[in-house]
Structure 1
Amino acid sequence: MSQWSKLAPAMSMVSSTVAVSLALSSPLQAASFTIDNITGTWFNLQGTSVFNGVGTDQVRWGDPATLSGQSGLNFQTTSSLGLISSGSNFVLGELTHLNFPVWGGTAASGVDLLLSMAIDGVDYDFNYTFTIDETPNVAGLCPDFQISTTPCDDKIDFTSPFSTTTFVKNGFQYTLELLGFSRTIDGFAPVSSFITEEYQASSAFLVARVTKDPNSIPEPNSLLGMLLLALASAGIKRRGFH
């Protein structure tokens, strides 16, 4: 029997194995990822020397004009999401703006958020900038964005574009998309800013999604691994060749 005759069944099995592997990893097939160690940390607070909470997930600013305390921002993360399927929206955390009167000259004008997480054990960081518009609480001097009847609403703008990052799993390329803030956890009620009445709070969820590159193909190393696995399964031994 020729070497080819001996190898033909095994190579046929290799081809079938690779084909099945590729089919199972096709763009239509959802993959799962472990996302955990999610943290949000405020830093680079600007415009005031009266503040606290920098380096934590709750930052406060201003000299309080009432017993209600300072204004501020909270970012409460979902500490561990467990397994997430590609193509599905999920929540990384909730942003809350607390609006209380502070004395003029002590309000903040901007702050940054460092968002960190691990995807399948690999750490990723994202930075975001928020603009803070603290207004004078005087009737008749409220800004154009005023929506309540209480003088005067304050505004938080999400001024940074929402980032993406790419990574490879099982030889295929995936993208983590931060879709932005939404009033609902499904991500279908997006907001680009908060306009918050005095003595009130506004909240929104930071929504993300992992998607597979539809044009992605396995890396050569991944294909080689499939071939070697198939060859081993077929029982092909080097000593069997003559």
Structure 2
Amino acid sequence: MKSRVGFLVTALGSAALLACSASVSAAAFSITFETSSGWLADGLTYDGYAPKTRQKNGVETIHNCAAGATNALNGCGLEFYDASAGINDAYTSVNWGTPRVAGQPSGLDIVSYNGVLDADAGWVDTGMITHRNRQVVAGTKTLAELNLFTMFDIVSPFMAQTGSVFGINFTETFNDQGGYCNPDIQFSTTPCDDYFNISGIPVPITFTFGGQKYVIEFRLWGDVNTGFVIDDNMLRTAENSDNNLFVQARLVTVPEPATIAVLGLGLLMLSGRRKKA
């Protein structure tokens, strides 16, 4: 019996040692990253992403701008400005519609961040999307659909690059103060809040460094305090305000199979010991 107990203690001790060793190693590891993003002026065509036909107000249409378009006379009624570094036909800002208040256009901005990801730490902002939700004159063209292209570069302790496309569908609601607001959408005190549907959030990046496997995970984050509320893939945005949505990443250590096996063995033996007692 002593030998069994001794083996159990040894197994659990080994598991704890392995877990502690992995934790120390993970805590000491970090990566430095750089990002670059831009709204694509060629609409839905980019590196194999073909234009798609969408239904809006009962009419089937293709929302696709001429490549490099920078004025509201293009096919999708958007105005692009401030070119994004390193991405063809991409811009950091886009406006649409005729504003009710001069000098206050509706639009989207993207700001890219550089930073550090520490293994098994919290989420870190890699970019911020701002929706300038303003009232537009009835009958003017508004944003229907758009792509955002983003690059994520690891610059230290090694170099690697990956790119992803966000697909965005946008619904401009009534701007009339007396208009009916959908209660499933409205959350601010100013009618009527707009909403987005987003697809194509960057897939996780998996890599091995120093014999240890890691994963970089991504998510979108926003709450009522930032003007964005996320419900699954629907993003609600407060009317007549600037609303911020954050793209975030975190670095996660993937446990080694041997560590998992030893931990499992120790827990299994502990369970058997309790049953005998």
TM-score category of the 2 structures, normalised to the smaller one: 0.5 to 0.7
User: Is residue 220–residue 245 contact of structure 2 (8 Å, CA) maintained in 1?
Assistant: no
Residue 31 of structure 2 aligns to which amino acid in structure 1? T
Aligned to 1:52: 80
What is aligned with 1:92? Answer: 126
Matched to 2:80, the amino acid is N
Which residue of structure 2 aligns with residue 66 of structure 1? 101
2:207 aligned with 1:163, yes or no?
no
Give the structure-2-normalised TM-score.
0.59
Q: Which has the larger radius of gyration?
A: 1
Q: Aligned-pair distance for 1:24?
A: 9.0
Q: How many residues align?
A: 190
Shift of 1:216: 5.9
Which letter does structure 2 place at the counterpart of 1:98? R
Cα 1:26/1:196, change in 2 over 3 Å: closer
1:69-218 to 2 correspondence within 5 Å? 69-78=104-113, 80-82=114-116, 84-88=117-121, 89-103=123-137, 104-119=139-154, 120=156, 121-138=159-176, 139-144=178-183, 145-183=185-223, 191-192=230-231, 193-215=234-256
Give me the whole-angstrom Cα distance separating, in 2, the residues matched to 1:201 and 1:142.
19
What is the alpha-carbon root mean square deviation over aligned residues? 3.0
Following superposition, the deviation at residue 190 of structure 1 comes to 7.9
Which deviations, in whole Å up to 9, do the C-alpha atoms of 1:214-233 show, x marking residues without a partner? 1368xxxxxxxxxxxxxxxx
Instruction: Name the aligned partner's letter for residue 125 of structure 2.
Output: V
Query: Would the alpha carbon gap of residues 58 and 32 (structure 1) be closer, same or farther in structure 2, given more than 3 Å must change?
Result: farther
Q: Percent identity?
A: 24
Q: What stretches of structure 1 of length at least 5 have no aligned partner?
A: 1-21, 218-242
CA distance in 1: counterparts of 2:24 and 2:229, whole angstroms: 26
Corresponding position: 1:42 with 2:39: yes
Q: Which residue pairs with 1:16 in the alignment?
A: none
Does the residue aligned with 1:29 lie in a helix, a strand or coil? helix
| Residue identity in the other structure for 1:167 | F
Q: C-alpha separation between the residues in 1 aligned to 2:19 and 2:235?
A: 45
Secondary structure of the residue aligned to 1:147 is coil
